[in-house]
Amino acid sequence: MRKKITISHLMEMKRTGEKIAMLTAYDYPIAKLIDEAGIETILVGDSVSNVVLGYPDTRPVTMDEMIYHTKIVTRAVKSAFVIGDMPFMSYQISVEEAIKNAARFIKEGMADAVKLEGTFFETIERMTNAGIPVVGHLGLTPQSASLQGGYVVQGKSYEKAKEIIKNAENIERAGAIMLVLEMVPKEVASIISHRLKIPVIGIGAGPDCDGQVLVIHDMLGLGGNFKFLKRYSNLDTIIKNSVEEYISDVKNKKFPTEEHTFSMPENELKKLIKNYRKK
């Protein structure tokens, strides 16, 4: 059995150049499968909001919903390092509230760390001092995408790139254990990955990051179709075809057959038939 992945393990992977694989998970069977497949880190992303719960974007999902999904995932996982994603407005209002909410991910959700978007350096520092490992998230930050001009690449100009690099360094300085970089030019992500000692995990940030993250529904073919995304299966087609075949089997009496059906023992059946025939 694989050992539990720790922060030191992830730091060692960065040091030796072994790439870190991260996927999102929100439910028990998927979390169990990807853990058994050998994934090193699992993010219970606030993407559950739009990917699973049917909200238009990541903002509506609540703390209670995030804790609910985090508990499910950590129940399934034996080895991977699990990160709970702090939902919109659970860490932006005050440092105290942020620490209380982050603590729920660790105490109730049994997560190994929390992730938060943006440049909340003091919050990251205070959480770290309180014993909560924090993962930062820069570049495109979906909770504030409307202020960033929508879902567009961040840091394309020299000035913007410099700002992201400076923020990444400040996040490390504040004590973060890892950084997610979303939709930034590969050149910027490469500089950040080389400058930081903590692992940098990219999504739409090119090949030089220390690891990569994808939303599980996207990579399995159940979700979006973005440029930075690679589909590894087409589960949408598989599920639709299976359901169509099932409907047709039910209507055409091809399911259930004898092999899916239970029968009574012969002597009991005789009694049943005799009794019910009388009536």
Q: Is 31 one of the binding residues for ligand KIV (CB under 6 A)?
A: no
Query: CA 52 → CA 106, 153, 166, 218, 246, distances in Å?
Result: 23, 25, 34, 11, 24
Please give the backbone phi and psi of residue 44, each rounded to the nearest 5 degrees, phi first.
-85, 85
Least spacing, CB of residue 104 vs ligand KIV, in Å: 17
Asked if 22 and 82 count as a contact pair (C-beta separation under 8 A), the reply is no
- In the set 182, 258, 259, 268, the catalytic residue is 182
Active site residue 182: yes
Question: Of 45 and 264, which CB lies nearer to ligand KIV in the complex structure?
Answer: 45
Count residues near ligand KIV (CB under 6 A): 11
Told to check if 40 binds ligand KIV by CB under 6 A, we report no
Closest residue to ligand KIV in the complex (CB): 45
Q: Does residue 246 sit in helix, strand or coil?
A: helix
203 lies in the site for ligand KIV, by CB under 6 A: yes
Nearest C-alpha neighbor of 224 from the set 209, 203, 242: 203
Element spanning 201, H or E: strand 200-203
The token pair at 238 is 């598989």
Choosing from 5, 30, 34, 47, the residue that interacts with ligand KIV (CB under 6 A) is: 47
Which residue in 13, 24, 101, 123 binds ligand KIV (CB under 6 A)? Answer: 24
Interacting residue with ligand KIV among 13, 134, 180, 191 (CB under 6 A): 180
CB of 48 to ligand KIV, least distance (A): 7
Q: Which one of residues 13, 45, 124, 192 is an interface residue with ligand KIV (CB under 6 A)?
A: 45
Q: Are 80 and 113 in contact (CB under 8 A)?
A: no
Q: What is the chain's alpha carbon radius of gyration, rounded to the nearest angstrom?
A: 24
Q: Is 42 in the site for ligand KIV (CB under 6 A)?
A: no
Backbone angles phi, psi at 43, to 5 degrees: -105, 120
Contact residues for ligand KIV (CB under 6 A)? 24, 43, 45-47, 85, 180, 182, 203, 213, 215
